[in-house]
Structure 1
């Protein structure tokens, strides 16, 4: 079984109850998805990749894919990178 290359994360950074999300991918996972789309015709035959809360990280694995958002939180950059979730 290979390392995780695509995961959804939710971050709750403060006592204000705000929630932030990202879908974390490795470059290899984006390439794999686009290659599949070239066969199915999605996304103009795999010619582009887009998602509203996408975050590309270099290395696969749950530890790395959760450490990057944690580091963004520590640096204060998470609001620039993650997408705020509105509560219903």
Structure 2
């Protein structure tokens, strides 16, 4: 099952949006790995641009989360546009 994916979403208006989608299990795995390698404060924190955490693994759950964000009007608050400079 997919636990971590970079996504690009293209809306009907032609705009592009990006996110990196993780499950809690993947975040835990990464933090444990970083605790061993010393990265990111020895695994003491997790941060990524455009990060979105979904409750269950698999592309279906990730797509459902993106669709829910779009339908609720929160899409633009969570994802960012890769063709615009960060503000």
TM-score above 0.5, yes or no? yes
Counterpart residue number, 2:60: 63
Cα displacement (A) at 1:14 = 2.9
Unaligned segments of structure 1, at least 5 residues:
none
Say which of 5, 10, 13 aligns to 1:12. 10
Cα deviation digits, residues 37-86 of structure 1 (max 9, x gap): 00001001000000011001101111001110111111111001111121
The total of aligned residue pairs comes to 84
Work out the CA distance in 1 between the residues paired with 2:29 and 2:23. 10
User: Are 2:20 and 1:28 equivalent residues in the alignment?
Assistant: no
Report the Cα distance in structure 1 between the residues aligned to 2:46 and 2:72, rounded to whole angstroms: 27
Could you list the runs of 4 or more consecutive aligned residues of structure 1 that deviate by over 6 angstroms after TM superposition?
A: none
